[in-house]
Structure 1
Amino acid sequence: MMRAVQLRAPASLDNLTPADLPDPGDPGPGEIRVRLAASSLNFHDFAVVAGMIPTVDGRIPMSDGAGTVEAVGEGVTDYKVGDSVVSLFFPDWDDGDSPSMSALTNVPGDSTDGYARDVVVTPQHWFTRAPQGWSAAEAATLTCAGLTAWRALFVDGVTQPGSIVLVQGSGGVSVFALQFAKAAGAKVIATSSSDAKLERLKALGADELINYKAQPAWGARALELTGGRGVDTVVEIGGAGTLDQSMLATRVGGHVALIGVLTGIVGPVKTALLMSKNLRVQGLTVGSRAQQLAMIAGVEANAIRPILDQHFPLENLADAFRHQASNAHFGKIIVDI
């Protein structure tokens, strides 16, 4: 038997139910058996367990998983027993900028069972190696938040020394984007509604700070902080309620990486502003296996380590989501398995 947490219908935090389920057994050809040690929370996971993203009764949630290879099946060449590995958000998106729609639908914790459990047996391509020397808790932050930030800056964007990047808030994607941008030699403007969190962002390297509660017109303030030039990339996690300010903050020909929907899923867009500034507003959802491996090489080369918030045991997964919903966290919330 193995421990797991299942989401029972109707989906809600109160219906996250600990369960003892059958052990998945030995890996078959091309498969690996992974003993999971950690997961981390993303807004996507919250959307599933809160019922915003429909799934089946009994789904095992959580898209992020990290642990150790316990056994390998026939024909497996990428891993050996004892290897540290981390899961992929899109297991079937290997490489390339334009995946098929089918490659974007097989998401652990959403359309198939995820990593809120002790052990999994999966095809070997569902995981990559973890960064050398990282704990499972650290590695589990990369699957969704880390790779999303990486793609926004270095795949869809061209962040380099001298670039100016604006990050919103202090959640996992935003903190990773700050760390990655600074490692690339960029200048970073950080926004938050909390002065205490802004000071923590400053300690991580943020060059300029904006409290958006004190300065609701923060787009104009960001423009001012760049001498009227505007930022090269905005890591946009708010969505409908913040997009206009993000476009105001961005330079002519700049890039808004549209990642989140925290302020709503629909809303009016100032299309004249979008057009007149020749902006590129690009939606993105995480990334490919090749991009994850590039990110792992990047964090190793620059000695970047993730910022971890509180740890919760697997059995208290609902409490971890309540902590997330309170917006009190800074960086990544960890589930120890």
Structure 2
Amino acid sequence: MRSWHLDMGAGLSGLRLEEHAEPRPGPGEVVVRVRAASINARELSILFQGRYPLPVKPGVVAASDGAGEVVEIGPGVTGAAVGERVIASIFPRWRDGPFRRETAAQLGGSLDGMLTEYAVLPAEALVRIPPHLSFEEAAALPCAGATAWNALTGGRPLSAGETVLTLGSGGVSLLALQLARSAGARTLVTTSGAARAARLSALGADEVIDREATPDWAAEVRRRTGDAGADHIVEVGGPGTLERSARAVALGGEIAWVGALARAASPPDLTPLWMAAATLRCIAAGSTAQLAAMTRAVAAHRIRPVIAQVFPFAEALAAFACYAAGAALGKILVRV
């Protein structure tokens, strides 16, 4: 079998294809024939920036996200069957409850990932793919979908009629928009440029704020909510956007901090967060239980992740380059 491997800080040239013997499952494990894998911002951080908050072993099989079908079952497995279409939690040991050091082993980090033809995975980490989704669509869910679900439901419960603000048009933000709409929330989205604004409106955002036309988007959020602010904010920018999110959050609201994509020249002033008696909650994707709950919502509402482009397995380098360029709206996939 073939697998794509990477090393911390090696850059695109460090992504390499290697041949291996097909794996066999141990007790409690299954072998999954991977059919599609998805690229996330974490891969760029590992490859290009050479930094990541969790351990990354040398020569790890790339990508935390993938989808496929079970082809072999190890001793003692009772919750999976050959032929089932599945995705896996990116934290296979994090079943439920709070995120802890002992459950932080991650696919594509300290554990081999999903950019491979065959993957050995704990059966308890598997979640069945909603019937209406293709393998490519399902592969977009493990990291971005679990993160979006955790952001919306893992702390302050989301209720119909509340206002959800998502930042940008990355994978987490797009799925948070779709999940929030399915829950009956009012959705506000920030983006840059008229073309992206039009795409987000077409995807169902109730209101889109173009940051190029309205740089002070926090003030615009307050204006459009009658100065009430957003009940939930899915914060992907981190240092470069957190201060504005703090100014945009409602009294008693919550900011779910899920990423750090935007840099800042100085630390953000979070005094408005305190003045709103709001919560800032830092999250790391989600547990297997949260991944399963998200897929149930996706199935019930027939949500389809937004796919920008699918590359053949042999062209994984081109897929990473496309993602790194940052121009795509939607997920970049590799068909295995």
TM-score (norm 2): 0.95
| Counterpart for residue 178 of structure 1 | 177
**How far does the alpha carbon of each residue in 1:267-313 deviate from its partner, in whole angstroms, 9 at most, with x for none?**
51323222111121111111111111111111111111111110112
| 1:321 partner amino acid | F
| Aligned position for 1:204 | 203
Deviation digits for residues 223-243 of structure 1, max 9, x if unmatched?
000011111011111110101
Say which SS state the counterpart of residue 254 (structure 1) adopts.
strand
User: Could you tell me how far apart the structure 2 residues matched to 1:177 and 1:324 are?
Assistant: 20
1:65 is matched with 66
Gaps of 5+ in 2: none
Moved more, 173-182 or 123-132: 123-132
Choose 285-294 or 316-325, whichever is displaced more.
Answer: 316-325
Decide which moves more: 144-153 or 310-319.
310-319
Q: Which residue pairs with 2:100 in the alignment?
A: 100
In 2, distance between residues paired with 1:283 and 1:274?
14
- 1:91 equivalenced with 2:92 (yes/no): yes
Cα distance, 1:218–1:336 mapped onto 2, change above 3 Å: same
User: 1:70-109 deviations in whole A, cap 9, x for unaligned?
Assistant: 011222111111000101111111111x2321202x1011
8 Å contact kept, 1:324–1:333: yes
Deviation string for 1:100-146 (max 9, x for gaps)? Answer: 21202x10111121111100122212322111232111111111001
Where do 1:77-226 residues align within 5 Å?
77-96=78-97, 98-104=98-104, 106-226=105-225
Which residue of structure 1 lines up, in the alignment, with residue 39 of structure 2?
A: 41
Contact 1:8–1:17 (8 Å) recurs in 2: no
Q: 1:273 and 1:289, CA in 2 relative to 1: closer, same or farther beyond 3 A?
A: same
User: 1:266 Cα deviation (Å)?
Assistant: 8.7
Deviation at 1:29, TM superposition (A): 2.4
Which amino acid letter does the alignment assign opposite residue 70 of structure 2?
A: V
Deviation at 1:9, TM superposition (A): 6.8
Asked if the contact 1:5/1:314 (under 8 Å) is kept, the reply is no
**Alignment partners' CA distance in 2, 1:200 and 1:29:** 47
How far apart in 2 are the matches of 1:66 and 1:151? Answer: 20
The equivalent residue for 2:302 is 303
What letter corresponds to residue 167 of structure 1 in structure 2? T
TM-score (norm 1): 0.95
- What are the equivalent positions in structure 2 for 1:226-245 lying under 5 Å apart? 226-245=225-244
5+ residue gaps, structure 1, are none
State the secondary structure of the residue aligned to 1:65: strand
CA deviations 1:33-70 (Å, max 9, x no partner) are 11000111111122122222363332211000110000
Distance 1:55 1:155, change over 3 A: closer
The answer to whether the 8 Å contact 1:8/1:15 transfers is yes
Q: What is the RMSD computed on CA atoms of the aligned residues?
A: 1.6
CA apart distance, 1:15: 1.2
Asked if structure 2 preserves the Cα contact closer than 8 Å seen for 1:49 and 1:61, the reply is no
Other structure's SS at 1:324 match: helix
| 3-state DSSP of counterpart to 1:89 | coil
- Verify the 8 A CA contact 2:86 2:127 in the aligned structure 1: yes
d(CA) in 2 for partners of 1:251 and 1:9? 39
8 Å contact from structure 1 (residues 63, 107) kept in 2: yes
Aligned residue pairs total 333
Q: How high is the sequence identity, in percent, across the aligned residues? A: 40
Shift of 1:8: 4.7
CA distance in 2, matches of 1:240, 1:249: 15
Q: Do the aligned partners of 1:176 and 1:306 also contact (CA within 8 Å) in 2?
A: yes
